[in-house]
Amino acid sequence: MEQASLVDEYGYVVDGQVFLKGYLDYPDRRIGEVKRTEQEALDYFKNRFIIAQNKVAQLEDEVEQAQNKGSYLTKLLQLRKKLLSFDAIGDFPPLLDRLDQLEDVLSGLIHTNQLKNLEIKRALIGEAEAIASSDDWKPVADALQEIKTKWIKTGPVDKAIEAEVEEQFQNLLDGFFQRRREFFNEQNKVIQERLDQYDELIRLAERAARNSDIDASYQEIRKLNNAWKNVGEVPIKKGGKLQKRFKRVVQNVFNKYNEVKGIVIQKRVDPRVEQQTRMAEEAEKLAKVPDKEIFNSASRAKELLNAWKEIKVPFKMQDKIVNERFRGACDKIFELSYLIRVLDRKYPAFSVKSTAEQLRTKIREMEYLVKREKSDLQFAMQDIDSLDPENPEDKQVLNKINTQKRKIAMKEQLLREFTRDLSRAE
């Protein structure tokens, strides 16, 4: 610097080269060269120092406004590194001091957050430990996946213990899911063995069914049927078709045996289904009463509906035909009751009209009701594709739509009956 031709407080020029004076433990550093005049060169690099000042100020502002302040530590370290090699003339130590102070703040925040994260992760480890040894595979797997999601969302801990904490948590997950895999592998093995036994029993049953000696065939099928029951259960998706196939062979042999021996099997009907059958028959009679008695039928139909709900018949034992008969009869009663109420209100002299005129009036009013309800149904079905049957609210909407369809179908049935009766009356 003794040979410097131009000297500034923080820099100088020697032999056409611009230097930044050393500071702290850093020596003098060449930062550029003179393009035109030495003063212009110094001024240029002094102005560049403003860029460094602005970068530090900008980082301070960003940290001040940020919620996750700790994420700026890496940016701070990068900025400090750039400042140490930045080509400018100015007082760098104060800028580095400001970065040091900001680093202390950020490091403190990061340490605090790491302690909080460690507390959270230890709690999650505790939750995982409490259930990881369970054999209740589905709910525990779901719970562990939820815990893992929380773990991922939780920030890092101190690097000194991070590997240990991560390993402890991962070992819990790996242990559970490994046990689950082994369980289902073994279960699948058992299921396959049972399916193989089913296949063999079907083969033997089909062979027995071809035996011309009906007594021998019958005895063999009974033995195979008992063996089938002792095999054990398999998932319906895997064994359902085999079950139907075996049952069909067994039933065919039993039917053939009964036919040869003259045995008549009396089908047992569940008392609850018998009760429902009687109720369906009563409802069908109530639907055939004259117009003047339809309101009494409607009152009785409501009583039958309430009583029907109290009869708890298992789904597999329900008689679908009886259910449809009862529901159809009740629907018919309520639709007729509503129609007669409309007719009484709109046509006070309806009862003195001829039979043909009464039927024409019924047809006219029912056509209007069908048209109106079809319009309502069309409006209700506009968004049906977006409804989810698993969602309780959407399921309720879908049930209402199905009820509307059923009511329209009954009205159209009544229209056909009225039209048929009119053709006979004329």
Residue pLDDT, tens place only, 85-98: 999 999 999 999 99
Please report which confidence band the pLDDT of residue 54 belongs to, taking 50, 70 and 90 as the band edges.
very high
The percentage of the chain sitting over the pLDDT mark of 90, rounded to a whole number, equals 42
- pLDDT value at residue 1: 53
Higher pLDDT, 95 or 66: 95
Per-residue pLDDT for 47 more than 90?
A: yes
- What is the mean pLDDT of the segment spanning 167-178? 92
Characterise 232 by phi-psi region: left (phi > 0), alpha (psi -120 to 50), beta (else): left
Residue pLDDT, tens place only, 281-323: 999 999 898 988 989 999 999 999 999 999 888 887 888 899 9
- What is the mean pLDDT of the segment spanning 150-165? 89
Residue pLDDT, tens place only, 218-260: 899 899 999 998 988 888 888 888 889 989 989 998 888 888 8
Nearest residue to 110 (alpha-carbon basis) of 176, 140, 155: 155
Please provide the average confidence, as pLDDT, over all residues in the chain. 88
- pLDDT value at residue 6: 67
Residue pLDDT, tens place only, 186-222: 889 999 999 999 899 899 998 988 988 888 998 998 9
Residue pLDDT, tens place only, 10-23: 888 888 889 999 99
- Say what the pTM is: 0.49
Residue pLDDT, tens place only, 375-423: 888 887 877 777 777 777 877 878 888 888 888 999 899 989 989 988 8
Question: Is the separation of the CB atoms in 158 and 119 below 8 Å?
Answer: no
